[in-house]
């Protein structure tokens, strides 16, 4: 791909803000779509997204800010989606432009809940984006640390190596290191599962389990992740890599992790509804766990998934959360 690629970022949250910061550092111009007209006006006037990562300052001369999703698609070759998976279908509802000639990269860490598909499959099957034009941007990388310019690492996955490298180059800075991969499906499932395991870590913390149990929980989680992904999509991969294990660890342990925070509140006795109201932000793991559980059943995966099963029961079952995790402790080693 041409180094002067034209990029549009879709989403108004913290990860979309962080990615726009990176892309606008390395490319001449970035189109940034979000649905909130007031947020756009604030950025134009103050050069900051006052709702998310408000310390980041933008050169607005390098940005096209728009609430018109079709304009954002027409303007660019590469479309980077950082919209929460639960809202993706609604955001794409006004779509009239074709995506078949576009390169689509997902920075969404979840499953599109209406279809039950990972985001790459959603764009391929519903919007006819060729598989070689679909990619993933994966961590471990919290948006808050990008804003602070702390050293971070990203994996850019695409079946087409040239496209992966072009996007990696557009992100790479002195504080963001990048590598490329062709394991698009495996990394997409890993980014979905790690949010579920972070919920589990948060629930355990909220229930009063200590560091010793957390270590056992996460060592079991990485093995469970490996079994699950291998059942869904068999391929050569190193599950100990940063896009798999690394992203799992940071999401499960970091104070920036909204999934851990969500789980922590559930463990402390909050209801799902009250947790959502209190946090006022999306925890992708909540939406992912039901679909991940259903996918496992549909695929008839023989692998043992006690952590996924426990989080599913904690959020969607009728059992007490404390009882669910007491039973989980007998299934780990």
- Contact partners, residue 284, CB within 8 Å, separation at least 6: 84, 85, 86, 108, 109, 110, 192, 195, 259
Residue 3: predicted pLDDT: 56
Residue 206: predicted pLDDT: 97
Residue 256: predicted pLDDT: 86
Say how far apart CA 207 and CA 19 lie, in whole Å: 35
In this prediction the pTM is 0.93
pLDDT digits (tens), the chain, 333 positions: 555 789 999 999 999 999 999 999 999 999 999 999 999 999 999 999 999 999 999 999 999 999 999 999 999 999 999 999 989 999 999 999 999 999 999 999 889 988 989 999 999 999 999 999 999 999 899 999 999 999 999 999 999 999 999 999 999 999 999 999 999 999 999 999 999 999 999 999 999 999 999 999 999 999 999 999 998 888 889 999 999 999 999 999 998 899 999 999 999 999 988 998 888 777 888 889 999 999 888 877 766 899 999 999 999 988 899 999 999 999 999
Residue 283: predicted pLDDT: 82
* Whether residue 319 lies in the annotated active site: no
* Helix 211-232 / helix 306-316 crossing angle, nearest 10 deg: 100
Which tokens hold the place of 261? 């925070």
Q: Is 273 annotated as a binding residue?
A: no
Residue 1: predicted pLDDT: 57
Residue 302: predicted pLDDT: 62
Q: Contact, 163 vs 157, CB < 8 A?
A: no
Say how far apart CA 90 and CA 95 lie, in whole Å: 10
Q: Is 23 annotated as a binding residue?
A: no
Q: How far apart are the first and last CA of the chain?
A: 47
| Helix ranges, the chain (H) | 14-26, 37-46, 69-75, 88-92, 119-127, 143-147, 161-171, 184-207, 211-232, 247-253, 258-267, 272-279, 284-299, 306-316, 321-329
Choosing from 21, 102, 163, 194, which is the catalytic residue? 194
Q: Is 109 annotated as a binding residue?
A: yes
**Is 227 buried (19+), middle (13-18) or exposed (0-12) by CB count in 10 A?**
middle
Q: Is 2 annotated as a binding residue?
A: no
Q: Contact, 81 vs 107, CB < 8 A?
A: yes
Q: Is 143 annotated as a binding residue?
A: yes
Nearest to 330 by CA among 307, 302, 298: 307
């Amino acid at each position: 791909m041409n180094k002067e690629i034209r990029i549009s970022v879709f989403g108004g949250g913290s990860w979309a803000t962080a990615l726009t910061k990176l892309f606008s550092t390395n490319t001449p111009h970035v189109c940034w779509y979000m649905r909130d007209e007031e947020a756009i006006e604030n950025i134009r006037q103050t050069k900051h997204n006052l709702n998310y990562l408000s310390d980041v300052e933008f050169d607005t001369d390098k940005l096209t800010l728009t609430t018109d999703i079709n304009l954002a698609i027409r303007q660019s070759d590469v479309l980077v989606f950082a919209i929460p998976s639960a809202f993706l279908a609604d955001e794409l509802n006004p779509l009239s432009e074709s995506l078949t000639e576009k390169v689509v990269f997902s920075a969404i860490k979840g499953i599109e809940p209406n279809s039950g598909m990972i985001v790459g499959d959603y764009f391929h099957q519903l919007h006819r984006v060729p598989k070689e034009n679909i990619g993933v941007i994966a961590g471990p990388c919290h948006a808050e640390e990008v804003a602070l310019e702390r050293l971070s690492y990203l994996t850019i996955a695409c079946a087409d190596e040239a496209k992966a490298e072009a996007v990696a180059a557009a992100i790479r800075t002195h504080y963001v290191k990048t590598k490329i991969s062709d394991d698009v499906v495996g990394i997409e499932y890993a980014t979905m599962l790690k949010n579920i395991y972070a919920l589990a870590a948060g629930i355990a913390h909220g229930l009063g389990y200590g560091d010793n149990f957390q270590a056992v929980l996460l060592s079991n989680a990485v093995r469970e992740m490996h079994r699950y992904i291998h059942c869904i999509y068999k391929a050569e991969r190193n599950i100990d890599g940063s896009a798999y294990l690394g992203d799992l660890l940071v999401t499960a342990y970091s104070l920036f992790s909204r999934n851990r925070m969500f789980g922590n509140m559930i463990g402390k006795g909050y209801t799902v509804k009250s947790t959502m109201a209190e946090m006022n932000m999306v925890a992708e793991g909540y939406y992912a766990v039901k679909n991940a559980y259903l996918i496992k059943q549909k695929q008839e995966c023989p692998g043992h998934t006690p952590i996924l099963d426990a989080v599913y029961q904690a959020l969607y079952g009728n059992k007490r959360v404390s009882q669910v995790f007491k039973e989980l402790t007998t299934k780990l080693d």
